[in-house]
Structure 1
Amino acid sequence: MWTLIQIDFKKMNKYVFLLPLISGVVVLLLASLSIGKNPIDESPWESYLLQMSTVCSIFFPISMALICSYIANSEHRYNTWKQIFTFPLRKSKIYFAKLMECIIAELIFFISVMIGFIFIGFIFIGTDVNVMNLILKAFVSLVIAYIPIIAFQLWLSLIIKNQAFPLSIGIFSAIFSYTFYVFPFEVGRFLFWTFPTSVLPIQLVIDEAQNMSIIQTENSSIYVGLSLVIGALIILMGMLHFTKRDIV
């Protein structure tokens, strides 16, 4: 499988993996605008973290949709699937190689954002080692929460030759992810597009007097577990669909 990943990296444009870094810079710049206008002065780090998560929920899925599409389109465009399938490897390993490339891109994004997030926070907010555990927990939770979204996006990109459709789905779901909360009977909470918001260990609360405060959440671990379970199911379904369907 690692051989396939190395082959893909050699034949793909290396600049495509600059996209997570560029997206991370945009997320940090937009999130950092909230530092000077922090409405919750007693919780500057927490407020900064929530702002980063909000900006990330739009830009990261869009960048991953582009990367998944590019990884799949490198085979669709030149009709090299049959050539790849002649390798003495199972189709499942080919699928997991593509998935690992997406996970590597995700890690590039979040590691760069976390380093920049801490660096900017130390400069403009101040040193507070007590928030390091909160930051680390939040970033690890976000990495896990985005796995179902990445797996779903890769599934669409691998199966559908015309990449306009997977890209449209990825962009639409990123822009309108927050609107999924309005689904009735708490259905929105179980749509995996909302997991990145639900897994955060903190949340913003606004009371009747429009006063804002940040509280610790008690059910974030539930959504981390749901992300793992649903992510594994989507990966399994995508792998089975990929291995049983002839892609030309």
Structure 2
Amino acid sequence: MMWRALSADWLKIRGKGLWFLVFLGPLGLTLMQGLNFGIRYDYLKDQYRADLWGGLLSNVADFVPVALYLGGTLICSLVANVEHQMSSWKQLLALPISRISVFMAKLLLCLLLLACSCLLLSAGTLALGLILGFGSQAIPYPDILRIGLSSYAAALPVIALQLWFSLSSRNQTLPVALGITLSLFSLFAMFLSEWVPLTWPALAWSAASPWQFIVSGLLLGLLVMMSGALHFVRKDVD
């Protein structure tokens, strides 16, 4: 039943601007670093001459958490708002499909869209490095693939929380405001304790043991998803 609900949700997001957001994040980060390296090409190439790809990846990685939080917030809000705007929750939940399937379909849709965005970021970073002439050094394909996906896994608790709030509230002002606030705070994650989940996307790239933050993100994200699904199953709809 979840796959039927997911297929229906794919059709509902047509013309809603979601795919624009999926491409906007990685394209914006790639262009920003292209401008950064283009303006300071000689200086940065000399600074990172021992590891040109590492220098590019570290510059991109600094902005991945804020892009993930902001992109996840907007995607979750737009997916939830499809039903809120049409006031179609009662009709949807009256269908012969379980509430848990409805929730999981929307969650999976958001996660798939964000995963596409992360893969596009890896492709854009690779293309930018080749355009800048870094192909003379060995291309670190695992790190290029990991730059978005590791932070994505660590950000799952916040993404799941955003979808939970977005589905629970007809007025999207509060969920979006919360997401923007978390996005801004993520810029100062280095000043917070590593026990704060907000720091995990950055640490999933830069820490000496990134896997502990990736796994922590997956486990806490699963817990938040289960809590959100349980609340959605029991919640009255308007």
Report the TM-score when normalising by structure 2.
0.89
Aligned to 1:21: 23
Amino acid at match of 1:228: L
> Are residues 240 and 115 of structure 1, via their aligned partners in 2, closer, same or farther at CA, if it must alter by over 3 Å?
same
CA displacement at 1:32 relative to structure 2? 2.4
C-alpha deviations, 1:3-32, integer Å up to 9, x for none? 112212223333322211012110111122
What is residue 160 of structure 1 aligned with on the other side?
A: 169
- 1:126 is aligned to 2:134: yes
1:198 corresponds in structure 2 to 203
Residue 75 of structure 1 and its aligned partner are, at CA, apart by 1.0
- Amino acid of the structure 1 residue aligned with 2:48: I
Bigger helix share = 2
> How many Å separate the matches in 2 of 1:140 and 1:179?
21
Q: Please tell me whether the aligned partners of residues 161 and 225 of structure 2 are also in contact (alpha carbons under 8 angstroms).
A: yes
CA distance in 2 between partners of 1:199 and 1:75 (Å): 34
- SS of equivalent to 1:42: coil
Pick which of 118-127 and 173-182 moved more. 173-182
Letter in 2 for 1:5: L
C-alpha RMSD over aligned residues: 1.8
Is the contact between residue 69 and residue 183 of structure 2 (CA under 8 Å) also seen in structure 1?
Answer: yes
In the alignment, the residues of structure 2 paired with residue 140 and residue 62 of structure 1 have an alpha-carbon distance, to the nearest angstrom, of 16
Aligned counterpart, 2:51: 43
Alignment of 1:179 onto 2:188 = yes
Amino acid at match of 1:4: A
The one-letter code matched in structure 2 to 1:26 is G
Amino acid at match of 1:232: L
Deviation per residue, 1:41-76 (Å, 9 max, x gap) = 322211211211222222332122111111111111
| TM-score (normalised: structure 1) | 0.85
- Which residue does 1:210 correspond to in 2? none
Question: What does residue 6 of structure 2 align with?
Answer: 5
- Alpha-carbon separation, structure 2, partners of 1:110 and 1:55: 12
- Counterpart position of 1:143: 152
SS state of the match for residue 176, structure 1?
Answer: helix
Which residue identity does 1:239 align to in structure 2?
A
* Aligned equivalents of 1:158, 1:99: Cα separation in 2: 10
Determine helix, strand or coil for the equivalent of 1:77.
Answer: helix
Preserved CA contact (<8 Å) 2:100 2:233: yes
| Cα deviation code 1:154-183 (max 9, x no counterpart) | 011011111000000011110111334434
How far, CA to CA, are the matches of 2:179 and 2:166 in structure 1? 10
Number of corresponding residues = 229
Which residues of 2 match residues 73-84 of structure 1 at below 5 A? 73-84=81-92
Unaligned runs of 5+ in 1: 204-216
* d(CA) in 2 for partners of 1:221, 1:60: 18
Identity percentage over the alignment?
A: 25
**Alpha-carbon contact 1:45-1:125 (below 8 Å) kept:** no
Tell me which of 112, 116, 130 is aligned to 1:104: 112
1:226 aligns with 2:216: yes
Query: Quick check: 50-59 or 122-131, which moved more?
Result: 122-131
| Equivalent AA in structure 2 for residue 114 of structure 1 | S
Task: Report if the CA contact (8 A) 2:157-2:221 is conserved.
Answer: yes
- Among 43, 60, 67, the alignment partner of 2:68 is 60
* Superposition misfits of 4+ residues, deviation over 6 angstroms: none
